[in-house]
Amino acid sequence: MKSGGRLLDPVVTTLAPAVWGSTYLVTTELLPAGRPLLAAAVRALPAGLILVGIGRVLPRGVWWWRAFVLGTLNIGAFFYFLFVAAYRLPGGVAALIMSFQPMIVLILAALLLGDRIRFVHVVACVVGATGVALLVIRPTAALDLVGVAAALAGAACMAAGIVFTKRWKRPAGVSLLQFTGWQLTTGGLVLLPVTVLAEGLPGELDGPNIAGFIYLVVLGSLVGYSVWFRGIERLSALAVSFLAFASPIVATVLGYFFLDQVLTGVQVIGALIIIGSVVFANLSAAPSGERGKPVEKSRETAYR
Q: How far apart are CA 85 and CA 95, in angstroms?
A: 9
Q: Give the pLDDT score at 198.
A: 86
| pLDDT recorded at residue 164 | 97
pTM score, two decimals?
A: 0.85
pLDDT score, position 281: 82
In the prediction, which pLDDT does 302 show?
Answer: 45
Low-confidence ranges of the chain (pLDDT < 50): 1, 290-302, 304
- Separation of alpha carbons 107 and 238, rounded Å: 10
Nearest to 199 by CA among 60, 62, 38, 65: 38
pLDDT at res. 240: 92
CB atoms within 10 A of CB 129: 22
Instruction: Report the alpha-carbon distance of residue 190 to residue 45 in Å, rounded.
Output: 9
CB-neighbour burial class of residue 11 (10 A; exposed 0-12, middle 13-18, buried 19+): exposed
| Per-residue model confidence (pLDDT) at position 47 | 95
| Per-residue CA distances from 209 to 27, 32, 259 (Å) | 9, 6, 18
Could you state, in order of their start, the residue ranges of all structural domains in the chain? 3-303
Rounded Cα gap, residues 98 and 17, in angstroms: 12
Q: What single letter denotes the amino acid at residue 64?
A: W
